[in-house]
A = this chain, B = another copy of it.
Amino acid sequence: MIVVTGASSGLGAALVSLYDSNQQTTFFTGRSAEKLECLNSTLTHSLGYHRCDMAVHSEVAALFEQLPSTPKTIIHCAGSGYFGLLELQSPQAIQTLIANNLNSAINLVQEAVKRYQNEPVTVVMVMSTAALQAKAQESTYCAVKWAVKGLIESVRLELKDKPMKLVAVYPGGMSTEFWPSSGKAINTESFMSAKDAASMIYNAMSAIGNGYVSDITVNRC
């Protein structure tokens, strides 16, 4: 079973569809029950979904309680964007950004580690190329993405010699619903589609013999 967060739309939804079309069972979550139901109706291998705000620790704990079995892979796609000059950003929107990206990642990783650290479970943390470099007009977005990278790299050290693995995925420039509401006017025509990004990430993730692909960056051409 593949668990996917942030599956209401974008990369998360595309990954659920892709795993489904490859005969893998999925269980997914997102903030919009309507969109999750809509996605679910298109699937043939779904084990269901559970609406949840990943930023709220108790909801994440409840999500894990709901899982029908131990997942093989948990892919954390939940997140949101917020851009523009720092001086123009609103404190409320910054708080939402931190909650949706940093709190949600901490909650996900913490609950996964608590329950599955001694099992061969792979946790895939989807971040952004903003986690890898500084960008003007993306200061708070870079901040929360760098935070998630710092979290992941540190937890990897805690999981040394454990069968659980953390995979880091850094997509850059996807054209999702994310942008129109992000506060930054951008022509996304040359951006990757979520479907294409999902395919590349799906192909790239593998574990063979003694090894596994631990970090993947996907960029626009």
Contact = CB atoms under 8 A, between A and B. Distances in A.
A153 interface: yes
A151 B165 contact: no
A153 to B, nearest CB: 3
A150 B143 contact: yes
A75 B81 CA distance: 29
Contacts of A165: 221
B221 A210 contact: yes
Interface stretch (A28-36, A41-49, A178-186, A189-197): A189-197
Nearest to A135: B154
Nearest to A105: B143
- One complex includes copies of this chain to the number of 4
A134 to B, nearest CB: 3
A16 interface: no
Interface string A115-156: 001000000000000010011111110111111111101111
Interface residues of A, number: 74
A2 interface: no
Interface string A189-221: 011110111011001101111111111111111
A91 B59 CA distance: 12
Given A146-B147, A151-B140, A214 B217 contact: yes
- For the complex of A and B, list the 7 residue pairs with the smallest distance between their C-beta atoms, beginning with the closest: A146-B150, A134-B153, A147-B147, A192-B211, A139-B154, A196-B209, A215-B217
17 contacts: A86-B158, A89-B110, A136-B157, A142-B154, A143-B147, A143-B151, A143-B154, A146-B149, A192-B211, A193-B209, A200-B213, A203-B203, A204-B204, A204-B213, A204-B216, A211-B219, A212-B218
